[in-house]
Amino acid sequence: FFTRIYMLMVVLIGFMGAGKSTVGRIVADLLGVSFVDTDVFIERHEGRTIREMFDLHGEAYFRQIERAAVTELLEDRASVLALGGGAPMDREIRALLGGHTVVYLHVPYEQALVRVHGDSYRPLLHGSGVRQIYDSRMPVYESTATIRVETDGRRPDDVAREVLHRL
Ligand code: S3P
């Protein structure tokens, strides 16, 4: 059992506000492995915020950086990795996820908005069409994941425990 867990990389996907970072950190602590948030990794690596990358160079530029970062991070076999909400939309990233344990944290649209309310950090929340983005991503999250966990009305540690039980 421990050998299996040790070799396991758990990848968390889901919409902004699903709780990927919060739940991911708890799961990593419980497993005793490291936790990496791809957004944080990218910002450190690039020396600027995601918002600045979007503003200065556009979303396509950010996606390119994100793809390179996820490729690198997936090589670390024993950790929990939280992907940015848009990462699974990239075909190359989806291909890299094959063979990994991919956990989809589901959050209903209205709840996602409540959780990220007042956030000035995530550029995509401030355009119109957030609902459209949400709707277009749901089927991709569903088909990419190996495990789906509901987060609505639940505390992060409760969600994390379910993730652990289902690995
Ligand atoms: C994005 C989600 C963000 C971040 C960027 C784009 C998206 O990550 O990668 O702002 O396209 O949904 P979180 O899901 O951690 O907020």
Give the domain ranges of the chain. 2-159
Establish whether residue 156 lines the binding site of ligand 1, counting it when its CB lies within 6 angstroms of any ligand atom.
no
Higher pLDDT, 62 or 9: 62
Count the helix, strand and coil residues of the chain and give each as a percent rounded to the nearest 5.
55, 15, 30
CATH superfamily for domain 2-159: P-loop containing nucleotide triphosphate hydrolases (3.40.50.300)
Is pLDDT of 45 > 80?
A: yes
Rounded Cα gap, residues 147 and 2, in angstroms: 20
Is pLDDT of 112 > 90?
A: yes
Sheet containing 147-150, strands listed edge to edge, beginning at the edge strand earlier in sequence: 34-37, 79-82, 10-13, 101-106, 147-150
Tokens of 27: 């799961």
Pocket test for ligand 1, best of 16, 61, 65 (most atoms within 8 A of CB): 16
Residue 3 annotated as lining a ligand binding site: no
Rounded Cα gap, residues 141 and 135, in angstroms: 10
* Burial class of residue 161 (count of CB atoms within 10 Å of its CB; 0-12, 13-18, 19+): middle
| Predicted TM-score of the model (pTM) | 0.94
Residue 89 is given by DSSP the state: G
Residue 154 annotated as lining a ligand binding site: yes
Closest residue to atom 12 of ligand 1, CA basis: 85
> What mean pLDDT, rounded, does the chain reach?
92
CA of 166 to the centre of ligand 1 (A): 25
Q: Give pLDDT, residue 121.
A: 83
Is pLDDT of 81 > 90?
A: yes
Q: Is the dihedral of CA 99, 105, 109, 115 positive or negative?
A: negative
CA of 5 to the centre of ligand 1 (A): 27
The answer to whether residues 123 and 51 touch, using CB atoms and an 8 Å cutoff, is: yes
* ipTM for the whole complex: 0.98
pLDDT digits (tens, 9 = 90+) for 126-153: 778 999 999 999 999 999 999 999 999 9
